Amino acid sequence: MKYRKFSDLSWNVSEVGLGCWQIGWCWGDVSDQDAKLLLKKALDKGVNFFDTSDTYGDGRSERFLAELKKITKEKIYITTKLGRRVRGTTYKKGYKHNPMEEFVDRSLINLNTDCIDLLQLHCPPSDLCSKKETYELMDEIVKKGKIANYGVSVWKISDAMEAIKFKNVKSIQLVFNMFRQKPIENFLKEAKKRKVAVIARGPLASGLLSGTINKETKFPENDHRNYNINGAAFDVGDTFSGVNFTKGLDAVEELKKIVPRDFSLSDLALKWILSHKEITVVIPGAVNKYQVEQNTNVSEMDEIIHLYPKIKSIYDKFIKKDVHHLW
């Protein structure tokens, strides 16, 4: 496993981390045993960066990570995301002082810790990303010792560009993959300039870029790839990266033609992300230990920079006009 510097902190984090959405909810049923086994496999493979949220299974994912800390003496970095517990038309209230600090206290209990390594605002409304009051609240919670650092998880690049203007923002989390290439235009360079860590989520576009999904694939009722395909539950950009399912499969067939020997399509997808050196950590999820094994092996695989032009041409032909302007 290779490691990368995180922002201007002393942290060196595994370039392949673990996204823990799958062991919380929205991806069908993942048993307690499978969740614990895949987390242990991540540790064994050198992963030291784990991303979760208080909404993933109503804290289930956070509690698994609290248990994980008990079985290792190595330093691991756990980041959680808060703000989305308030639902419906009043969701903006989730980023105000009273509920936010209550959310922090709840996550401290779930994670069995006195201080959260990195707290990310969980996809706040666009207007809050540019308001100093949003970050003054975070600074206040830092001063109380409840969180050590904070960042912002976003849906839109425009929100990310606003958030990184605030000096104490240590990280931005966003969707970045071969089907969502907009961050390359300006954001990655600006983040590097400001020493803001970039956490790449959705690297396999909800499995589209795994190469294992086809038109006949059926998803469980409690899988967001079933019920959120049109954005009914949350921003559709986090389901298949907002890509039309059929068009996505057509693009996948073209990508399969350029996959190098000894690579799978998912290997190519992850390595493409890591080849952008502005990326600090990519956080693929997993529903079993075998997926963790495959994802983490990518860190030691050969570079694929020579395939950039072909990958971009496929993106331009099949994907760009439908998604590039939306996020």
Q: pLDDT tens across 32-56, in order?
A: 999 999 999 999 999 999 999 999 9
Q: pLDDT tens across 147-170, in order?
A: 999 999 999 999 999 999 999 999
What band does 87 get if pLDDT is binned at 50, 70 and 90? low
Tell me how far apart the alpha carbons of residues 76 and 64 are, in angstroms, rounded to a whole number: 14
Sorted by sequence, the CB contacts under 8 Å of residue 74 that are 6+ apart come out as 43, 48
Number of helices (H), then strands (E), in the chain: 13, 10
Q: Which residue, chain included where needed, has tokens 């331009």?
A: 316
What band does 86 get if pLDDT is binned at 50, 70 and 90? low
Sorted by sequence, the CB contacts under 8 Å of residue 103 that are 6+ apart come out as 54, 82, 83, 85, 94
Per-position DSSP letters for 198-232, written without gaps between them = EEEE-TTGGGGGGT---TT----TTBHHHH-TTSS
Q: How many residues does the chain have?
A: 327
What band does 93 get if pLDDT is binned at 50, 70 and 90? low
51 bridge partner residues: 19, 79
Q: Rounded to whole angstroms, what are the CA distances from 27 to 30, 77, 80, 83, 294?
A: 8, 24, 19, 21, 19
What's this model's pTM, rounded to 2 decimal places?
Answer: 0.96
57 closest CA partner among 241, 203, 224: 224
Q: Which residue, chain included where needed, has tokens 């790449």?
A: 200
Tell me how far apart the alpha carbons of residues 146 and 3 are, in angstroms, rounded to a whole number: 26
Topology, domain 3-323: TIM Barrel (3.20.20)
Widest distance between CA atoms in the chain: 54
